[in-house]
Structure 1
């Protein structure tokens, strides 16, 4: 797959397309941490609504979302949001 403007190359693993090799490697690490019971779970591409869609003066503004790379659920109940750069 061709590199993007930042030099990252898309890659596939387990039928999932990742935006970079680093992101795919982090996914592998999270799988291992879950199997070895060092984390509870993780999610891919969690979405967070930053602003609802709205209308103002007859103009419609779309919602604004942030999409992270990973959401990691730790054993102590804490949650980490991870972006791979």
Structure 2
């Protein structure tokens, strides 16, 4: 009998490991690889993964990527295959409480 640490995604996302990092989906893993290429090309200076925002009610929301671009801009990016009602609520809360806009790819 095989036991998984996390239950299977109800939306069909397949966890993927790249560079020893576990991503919740192939789409997120591919975006990570694209970001690495953009860093190498000089378009993106650096990026962070799973950056948390603290919300009311001891709730936490983590954006998939925080990107620092060479032009001085900063981007908060979430890689989404499916936009859920819970995601919409948390995204709206983050954008109301913090001076950020979350981009979806």
1:82, distance to aligned residue in structure 2 (A):
0.7
Dislocated runs of 4+, deviation >2 Å: none
Say which one has the larger Rg: 1
Q: CA RMSD in A?
A: 1.7
After TM superposition, the score normalised by the length of structure 1 is 0.79
Greater helix fraction, Structure 1 or Structure 2: 2
User: What is residue 21 of structure 1 aligned with on the other side?
Assistant: 26
Match of 1:77 among 59, 62, 72: 72
After TM superposition, the score normalised by the length of structure 2 is 0.65
- Structure 2 unaligned runs (5+)? 81-105
Instruction: Report the Cα distance in structure 2 between the residues aligned to 1:28 and 1:3, rounded to whole angstroms.
Output: 24
**1:4 and 2:9 equivalent?**
yes
Q: How many residues end up aligned between the 2 structures?
A: 75
